Amino acid sequence: MDVSKVKVLVFDLDGTVYEDTHHFDYQAARLKDKLSVEKQSLFQQDFDAVKRDEHPIKIGRIYDGINDLVLVQLDNIVQEAYKWNGHRLSNEEINKLYPKPIEINYDTMLSIGDPWWISTSIAGHYGLNSKKCYEAFLETREYMMGPEFEMEPIVGFKEVLSDIHEHVKLVLLTNSPQPDSEAILTKIGLDRLFDLKIFNGEKPTRTLERFEHIKNEFGVEYKEIMSVGDNWINEIRPVQPLGCGTIFIDSHGVGNPSSADFVFECMGDAIPILKKIKNPLD
């Protein structure tokens, strides 16, 4: 991947342009509040078990709410399936249940591509509907907009974006709504940097449509666009066949070196690559 050829950088918001994570406990608490009392402690046990990596729910997997199963998939083809207690289904059972590619949605087939979906999937297992889960999400966004939620900007990130901005267009593409996203951008000082901001992006379902729009908007080729995100299913996998460059922020260690053109544990580590856009001879 020749970074010097990049003309448009497309950034995800949450977990990509900021690294704070303390709001996920707040989100879990809001979801737990909406469950009946007898289910609250079970919810908490599961949430704690996921944190210890002792649960079938993991980043990168899918929660099938209809069959109450946790799935491992690639390009929507189910490869592995686990019951809530961790029991693995046989290939025969998988073929019977999932003869066709699955369709990810926000209701019954949840993509646990980032931490937002961990507690949401657990709440789904205990019967909370998607409307109530979305309410908890919005309450969390409300909290994040307020003064109580302090954010730590990524050291050197704003500076590098400002430096390379004369060479590249900067795009924000997020699944989150506009008001809270703008408030977060303001908190971390990135509110005036982007040439284009797309909210309610509906990734991964509409990732390809969004990238086509971005390509046309700036009159560039796909190979001149680089997608940067922490959710492999949403931001990396769909754009690889187009020929876009990719930077995967793999803070949960779910990928490997071939998951993207560049794989980093955090955005701070990606800064030297971003700097090359400004000066390809470095």
Q: In the complex, which residues of this chain contact Mg ion (CB under 5 A)?
A: 12, 14-15, 114, 230-231
Kindly state the smallest distance separating residue 235's Cβ from Mg ion, in Å: 7
Kindly state the smallest distance separating residue 78's Cβ from Mg ion, in Å: 24
Q: Report the distance separating Cα 185 and Cα 279, nearest Å.
A: 26
Cβ–Cβ under 8 Å, residues 255 and 229: no
Kindly state the smallest distance separating residue 231's Cβ from Mg ion, in Å: 5
Report the residue number, 119 or 231, with the smaller CB distance to Mg ion: 231
Q: Which tokens hold the place of 218?
A: 């700036």
Kindly state the smallest distance separating residue 40's Cβ from Mg ion, in Å: 27
Report the residue number, 35 or 239, with the smaller CB distance to Mg ion: 239
Report the residue number, 21 or 79, with the smaller CB distance to Mg ion: 21
Q: Report the distance separating Cα 175 and Cα 191, nearest Å.
A: 17
Report the residue number, 73 or 231, with the smaller CB distance to Mg ion: 231
Kindly state the smallest distance separating residue 88's Cβ from Mg ion, in Å: 28
37: phi then psi, degrees, rounded to nearest 5: -55, -40
3-state secondary structure of 8: strand
Closest by Cα among 175, 205, 185, 239 to 104: 205
Report the residue number, 98 or 248, with the smaller CB distance to Mg ion: 248
Q: Which tokens hold the place of 136?
A: 């908890």
Cβ–Cβ under 8 Å, residues 154 and 19: yes
Q: Nearest 5°: CA angle at 117, between 111 and 122?
A: 105
Q: Report the distance separating Cα 196 and Cα 70, nearest Å.
A: 36
First to last CA, the chain: 15
Cβ–Cβ under 8 Å, residues 216 and 46: no
Kindly state the smallest distance separating residue 141's Cβ from Mg ion, in Å: 14
Kindly state the smallest distance separating residue 227's Cβ from Mg ion, in Å: 12
Q: Which residue has the tokens 């926000």?
A: 106
Closest by Cα among 253, 181, 171, 180 to 217: 171
Report the residue number, 97 or 151, with the smaller CB distance to Mg ion: 151
Report the residue number, 5 or 58, with the smaller CB distance to Mg ion: 58
Q: Which residue has the tokens 């209701």?
A: 107
Report the residue number, 73 or 251, with the smaller CB distance to Mg ion: 251
Closest residue to Mg ion in the complex (CB) = 15
Q: Report the distance separating Cα 48 and Cα 57, nearest Å.
A: 11
Kindly state the smallest distance separating residue 34's Cβ from Mg ion, in Å: 24
